[in-house]
Amino acid sequence: MTAQREWFEKDYYATLGVPKDATAKDVTRAYRKLARDLHPDANPGDAAAEARFKEVSAAYDVIGDEERRAEYDQVRAMGPVGGSMGGGFGGPGGFSAGFPGGAGFDLGDLFGGLFGGQGGGGHGGRRGADLETRLTLSFVEAVEGVTTSVHLVSDAACSTCGGNGARPGTRPTTCSACAGRGVQADDQGPFSFSRPCGSCGGRGQQVDDPCGACRGSGSERRPREVKVRIPAGVDDGQRIRLKGRGEPGRGGPNGDLFVVVSVEPHARFGRRGDHLTVGVSITYPQAVLGAEVQVPTLDGGTVTLKVPAGTRSGQAFRIRGRGIPAKWGSGDLLATVEVHVPAEPTDAERAAVEALANTMAEGSDEADDATDAS
């Protein structure tokens, strides 16, 4: 539910700097430009840029997706009303607002497509709660995507009574307090909010002879295994919404499952956004003269990198398109070369380096000092 709660507070259009009626193409273009400018690669060590980068990504996750953008727009249109409802979304009751003039409407209906028709227990059933779980992935699984299972314990309809809370063989009866509507009107001021019925808890029905297994609640805790498909390119800390995979609904739709991903580090590769990073060792002669070296790729292969003459240790090279697959094409492989210094040179190497040292000393102004020191 947190994802939607954020929608009330955050103006994703402003985050991306586009008007509310921007076309999908414009949204994507604005996002790409911001993502490029704010990318951690372009701003190493800049925490503010990184925070902005995350905000921009979160905004694009929603308004870059046609279906989620429509939901977001709907939620935003409800802004002030929704905001005043506070923590009420998860509750079983129906919320209805009566406007002066009698044009009453049921918020449950308006939110029906979003939060599932949890309005009016008497005529809609109940949407299952949203659930959140953590999932640890290997570095490669996160890059390539994976289908796996998560284990959850959540409320489900009681298997003894089928979820109606009545002892098998008996049936719940219509609640006399609310006449089955599940709500009680609360007429105060121009807005009248209905409250869930106190007698039946919003269900519109009462149980005279409760089920022994669930004591009339209609639900039981049950372990479940949920198959989840994690898309390629997810990053550490990312939250993935799996629609309808949360707590089963009771007469209403299922809740959503949010999977928070932890990604294990890789022994060889690192990651910056959609770019992969890797260290490559080269020799001093290769650095001075230039060379073609083999850079490992994540799939176990290699790619040839042309290191130019005069390369410094710590210099980074970009190998385009060999990074993490992303929505708009893959990121890059960023290879940082390190000049390898042998800890125990062979006699031949030592002689060669001494000859080099002498050559360099002759070419220097402090030739005498350098010779004395050795």
Q: Using DSSP bridges, classify how beta strands 146-157 and 219-230 pair: parallel, antiparallel or unpaired.
A: antiparallel
CB 185 within 8 A of CB 192: yes
The whole-angstrom separation of Cα 117 and Cα 106 is 10
Contact indicator for 211, 218 with CB cutoff of 8 Å: yes
Span near Zn ion by CB under 5 A; candidates 21-29, 88-96, 159-167, 186-194: 159-167
How many residues lie near Zn ion (CB under 5 A)? 12
Q: Which stretch binds Zn ion (CB under 5 A): 37-45, 99-107, 198-206, 250-258?
A: 198-206
Which contiguous run of DSSP H or E holds residue 96?
strand 96-98
* Least Cβ distance, residue 274 to Zn ion (angstroms): 49
Binding mask 80-109 for Zn ion (x = CB under 5 A): ------------------------------
CB 213 → Zn ion: shortest distance, Å? 5
- The least distance separating Zn ion from the CB of residue 64, rounded to whole angstroms, comes to 43
Contact 235, 264 (CB under 8 A): no
160 binds Zn ion (CB under 5 A): yes
- State the minimum distance, in angstroms, from the CB of residue 221 to Zn ion: 12
Do residues 367 and 361 make contact, with C-beta atoms less than 8 angstroms apart?
A: yes
Q: What one-letter code names the amino acid at 8? A: F
Closer residue to Zn ion (CB): 93 or 273: 93
Residues 6+ apart with CB under 8 A from 351: none
Residues of the chain by 3-state class (helix, strand, coil), percent to 5: 30, 25, 45
Least distance in angstroms from the C-beta of 219 to Zn ion: 8
Q: Which amino acid is at 332?
A: D
Query: Rounded CA gap, 76 and 9, in Å?
Result: 9
What minimum distance in Å lies between the beta carbon of 199 and Zn ion? Answer: 4
Q: Which of 158, 263, 278, 293 binds Zn ion (CB under 5 A)?
A: 158
13: left (phi over 0), alpha (psi -120 to 50) or beta: alpha
- CA 244 from chain centre, in angstroms, equals 16
- Concatenating the DSSP letter of every residue in 224-262 gives EEEEEEEPTT--TT-EEEETT-SSPPBBS----EEEEEE
Measure the CA–CA gap between 353 and 166, rounded to whole angstroms: 90
Least distance in angstroms from the C-beta of 192 to Zn ion: 18
CB nearer Zn ion, residue 121 or residue 331:
121
- Whose tokens are 């956004």? That residue is 273
List binders of Zn ion among 6-25 (CB under 5 A): none
Minimal distance in Å, beta carbon 249 to Zn ion? 17
The smaller minimum CB distance to Zn ion, of residues 214 and 307, is found at 214
Smallest separation, CB 251 to Zn ion (Å): 15
Closer Cβ to Zn ion, 59 or 197, answer by number:
197
Minimum Å distance from CB 239 to Zn ion? 33
Window of 34-42, 132-140, 186-194, 197-205 that interacts with Zn ion by CB under 5 A = 197-205
Torsion of CA 358, 359, 360, 361, to 10 degrees: 50
Binding mask 199-238 for Zn ion (x = CB under 5 A): xx----------x-xx------------------------
Q: Please check whether residue 140 is in contact with residue 231, taking contact to mean a CB–CB distance below 8 angstroms.
A: no
> 10's torsion region: left (phi>0), alpha (psi -120 to 50) or beta?
beta
Kindly tell me which of 158 and 257 has the beta carbon lying closer to Zn ion: 158
Which residue number, 210 or 290, has a Cβ lying nearer to Zn ion? 210
CB 126 within 8 A of CB 250: yes
Nearer to Zn ion, 107 or 211 (CB): 211
* Among the listed residues 137, 161, 334, 337, the single contact to Zn ion using CB under 5 A: 161
Between 213 and 370, name the residue whose CB sits nearer to Zn ion: 213
Binding to Zn ion in span 171-190, by CB under 5 A: 175, 177-178
Of 18, 56, 197, 276, which one interacts with Zn ion (CB under 5 A)?
A: 197
* Chain contacts with Zn ion (rule: CB under 5 A): 158, 160-161, 175, 177-178, 197, 199-200, 211, 213-214
